[in-house]
Every structure is written in structure tokens, then in C-alpha cells.
Amino acid sequence: MATQTLDVRGMTCQHCVNAVETSVGAVEGVQQVNVDLDNGKVAVDYDDSKATVENIRDAIEDQGYEVIPQE
Ligand code: 9UX
């Protein structure tokens, strides 16, 4: 298992939260998604033998949000 917290730009209402939670939650291997709307954070628990952070980032970007690179 692994946990990643991503900075995501563009989420501004509860429908955004739902879109991100649904799309990330549908990624194979993802166990839990928690969106912090106020701070633009998406925390994901996932099985890192099934999913990669790239899979998660793609799911967020497919919904039209921007994932900010960590470094
Ligand atoms: Mo709310 Mo989010 O109307 O892209 S769904 S801003």
C-alpha cells in the first residue's frame, strides 16, 4: 500500500470533489480518496502493485483538473 497527496488546481465546488473522487476511485488498486477542497489536496491510498501515481494523475487530469508537480 502507498499513500500520496497531490496538489490539484481547479477544484472549486462540491461537484468537482465528486468528479475527482469518482474518477480516482475507479482507478484499479485505489482504496480510498479524500479531497480537501479548501486546500486543493487530493489524498489517495492505493495498492502500489496495481496502480501508479501516474494512473491517479491521469484520472484527475481526464476530469479537467491540473495536478501540480511536486518538484
Ligand atoms: Mo463546480 Mo468544478 O460548478 O470543475 S464542477 S466548479
Other Cβ atoms closer than 10 A to 5: 13
Domains of the chain by residue range:
2-68
Q: Quick one: pLDDT at residue 42?
A: 98
Q: What is the pLDDT of residues 16-46, one digit of tens each?
A: 999 999 999 999 999 999 999 999 999 999 9
Pocket-testing residue among 9, 16, 62, ligand 1, by greatest number of atoms within 8 A of Cβ = 16
Cα 3 to averaged position of ligand 1 atoms, centre (Å): 26
Q: Quick one: pLDDT at residue 71?
A: 64
Q: Quick one: pLDDT at residue 35?
A: 98
Name every protein residue with a CB atom under 6 angstroms from any ligand 1 atom: 12-13, 15-16
Q: pTM for this structure?
A: 0.95
CATH topology of domain 2-68: Alpha-Beta Plaits (3.30.70)
Find, among 62, 58, 60, 50, the residue nearest to 8 by Cα: 60
Cα 1 to averaged position of ligand 1 atoms, centre (Å): 31
